[in-house]
Amino acid sequence: MFFPRLLCVFITGNRCPMVLFVCDHCGKCCTSLGRYIRIERQLSDMDYYCRNTITGEISPVHVAPEFAEEIDEDFTTGSAGSRPGCIFLRRNPHGPGQVCAIYSTRPQICREFRCYHMIIYNSKGEPAGRMVGRADIQTADPVLTTIWNDEVKPLPCPATHCGDPTWVNSVCAILAGHGYRGETVKGGYA
């Protein structure tokens, strides 16, 4: 209901296949970005105007019905400010983790947030790491860490790594030369 599922997509002319982002409901996006989203005005028990305090942009949002009462209470009692992160981040009623109560109408800053840009698989096809930020890696694989630091980090830095097919193809070629496979994330957005 709130998040896309895994699906492989291949981009023509790009040697790196792409996969759709799969949310694991960790809530880190809403915890980090949530402090920049403020309710400007309540329109109804399910509708609000929210301000992005970074850009000043105001967005209308609509709360999913199963969260409306809880969010309305937090907003009207003032307890929203005592929550870490976003007032719209809630416990997932359908399983583990967290969900966004305004996911379908979330502000642009939330839509553009990237959790990770590339998934890196080892020779067995198992996930071995993820590229996060501009070109950092999260991995417990010491060989992959060395490859990344010695061969990927020194590559000339384009303004947007994941948006530059030449850079992505270079990274995928480096990884492939060591038995790894990189797959860029399409819509690596929370």
Q: Give the domain range for residue 68.
A: 28-112
Picking from 20-29, 47-56, 73-82, which range would have the lowest pLDDT averaged per residue? 20-29
| Residue 127 scores a pLDDT above 60 | yes
The answer to whether residue 2 is domain-embedded is no
Last residue of a domain, one of 112, 134, 169: 112
Confirm whether 3 is domain-assigned. no
My answer on whether 90 and 154 are in the same domain is no
Residue 150: pLDDT band with limits 50, 70, 90:
very high
Whole-number pLDDT of residue 149: 93
Q: In this structure, what DSSP letter does residue 189 have? A: B
Number of domains forming the structure of the chain: 2
> Is there a single domain that holds both residue 83 and residue 151?
no
The DSSP secondary-structure symbol of 149 reads I
100 lies in the same domain as 130: no
Domain end marker among 60, 78, 112:
112
- Quote the CA–CA distance of 63 and 105 in Å, as a whole number: 8
Residue, of 18 and 59, whose pLDDT is higher? 59
**Is pLDDT at 74 greater than 90 in this prediction?**
no
Q: Identify the domain boundary among 79, 112, 145.
A: 112
| Cα–Cα distance for residue pair 41/47, rounded to 1 Å | 9
Shared domain for 119 and 95, answered yes or no, is no
Higher pLDDT, 45 or 179: 179
Shared domain for 42 and 63, answered yes or no, is yes
Which tokens sit at 57?
Answer: 């942009």
Which residues are bridge partners to 130 per DSSP? Answer: 119, 138
Rounded to a whole number of angstroms, the CA Rg of the chain reads 19
Q: Which letter does DSSP use for residue 152 in this model? A: I
% of the chain at pLDDT higher than 90: 39
Across the chain, what does the average pLDDT equal? Answer: 80
Same domain? 122 vs 168: yes
120 and 70 assigned to the same domain: no
Residues 139 and 159 in one domain: yes
pTM (two decimals): 0.58
